[in-house]
Amino acid sequence: MHNRVKMDAYMLRLAKWREQRYQEWLANPSPLAQRLRAVKAQREQELLKR
């Protein structure tokens, strides 16, 4: 591929951008994600009590 260096640089930038966005999402989840996490935690607690 004649543009290998450019493609590799592009793919690296894309991977870093995706990771940054994912970390931001983890730090500031949407209200829906917060509710789902709460429901999951509640169900796990109920299973542990049995």
pLDDT at 10: 97
| Stronger pLDDT, 37 or 50, i.e. the higher one | 37
pLDDT value of position 31: 95
Measured CA to CA in angstroms, residue 17 lies from 11, 25, 28, 29, 32 at distances of: 10, 12, 16, 17, 23
Largest CA-CA distance found in the chain, in angstroms, rounded: 62
Say if pTM beats, i.e. exceeds, 0.85: no
Residue 1: predicted pLDDT: 66
Q: How far apart are alpha carbons 25 and 15 in whole angstroms?
A: 15
In sequence order, the 6+-apart residues with CB closer than 8 A to the CB of 49 are: none
- 40: which 2 tokens? 């999951």
